[in-house]
Amino acid sequence: MKAIIFDIRSFSVHDGPGIRTTFFFKSCPLRCAWCHNPESHHPGIQKVTGTYKIGQSSVPCFKQVGEIITLNQAISKAEADRLFYEESGGGITLSGGEPLMQADFVIALLEAAHQLDIHTAVDTSGYAPESVFKEVITKTDLVLFDLKIMEDAQHKKFTGKSNRLILENFKWLMRQKTEVIIRIPLIENITDTMQNLEAIRAVLKSTKAIPRIDLLPYHQTAYNKYKQLDLTYGLKQLPNYPIEKQQQIKTYFNDLAPVVSIGA
Ligand code: SF4
């Protein structure tokens, strides 16, 4: 069994508890205006052009974005990092892109990890057919679930898709025993409007207890990736998210979870 990924990051400390190995899957049904991982959007392996410097000259070069990974290779990678999981309470995280776009592989990898007693997390936008979503969620220890924009027309405008399916899946998820961490991207005047934050707060107040909320402030680092991939980046004029506002929003959510963190 194979999947297409665009990165594997060992020693990650931002994608769930402890030290983790994060697999970044290609393909995503959304097109969030602020996306930091545009290399995930195309489902296949891409060749992109770039330049590297020799002295004062820029020399053109080609770079491959994406690679095939087999299930055995993924498991070997997890096993190689296992010592770090055991010492830190970590494990593997399946991220992207949207990992549920390659659900068969994801399910097989989650099952294999559990047979080896390795903790698993899935980082998802929640945009997946109900049956796929349910099957994946029942196989993982932890879900990192993004809540971006609660108003449907705004969600469509800034991500390209309606949020109805996402919110349906979220409702179901919050009735399950699986542990959930909520991730909220902070994008000025898009996700951080009072109306949107109040709507997120209202939803979180009405569900089961959440151990943690991660606030993910916008930063400009993705711009060069868009350039390399020849994609238009609509938010290139937006400055990094202001630190004072990060703190204010953290305070706003502080009573909803034992841990509210900034940045990941
Ligand atoms: S869901 Fe995540 S990977 Fe997909 S476009 Fe949005 S930010 Fe990017």
Question: Which whole-number Å values give the CA distances from 246 to 81, 254, 263, in the listed order?
Answer: 33, 12, 9
The whole-chain average pLDDT of the chain stands at 95
Q: What is the mean pLDDT of residues 209-213?
A: 94
Domain with 27, as residue range(s), is 2-262
Question: For 81-114, what is each residue's pLDDT tens digit?
Answer: 999 999 999 999 999 999 999 999 999 999 999 9
* pLDDT at res. 76: 98
Distance 40 CA to ligand 1 centre (A): 8
245 lines ligand 1 (CB under 6 A): no
Ligand 1 pocket, mutate which of 159, 170, 231 (most atoms under 8 A from CB): 159
97 lines ligand 1 (CB under 6 A): yes
128 lines ligand 1 (CB under 6 A): no
Distance 30 CA to ligand 1 centre (A): 6
Rounded to whole angstroms, the Cα distance separating 244 from 149 reads 21
The minimum-distance atom of ligand 1 relative to the CA of 30 is 5
Distance 154 CA to ligand 1 centre (A): 16
* pLDDT at res. 80: 96
Given a cut of 90, is residue 55 above it in pLDDT? no
- The residues pairing with 64 across neighbouring beta strands, listed in sequence order, are 47
How many domains in the chain?
1
Given a cut of 80, is residue 264 above it in pLDDT? no
The minimum-distance atom of ligand 1 relative to the CA of 127 is 1
* pLDDT at res. 170: 98
Given a cut of 90, is residue 59 above it in pLDDT? no
Domain harbouring 198, CATH code: 3.20.20.70
166 lines ligand 1 (CB under 6 A): no
Closest CA to 85 of 30, 130, 18, 26: 18
* pLDDT at res. 61: 80
Distance 217 CA to ligand 1 centre (A): 14
Maximum distance among all alpha carbons in the chain?
59
Q: What is the mean pLDDT of residues 138-161?
A: 98
- Closest C-alpha residue for ligand 1 atom 6: 32
* pLDDT at res. 190: 97
101 lines ligand 1 (CB under 6 A): no
Closest CA to 175 of 144, 150, 209: 209
Is 147 buried (19+), middle (13-18) or exposed (0-12) by CB count in 10 A?
buried
- Closest C-alpha residue for ligand 1 atom 2: 97
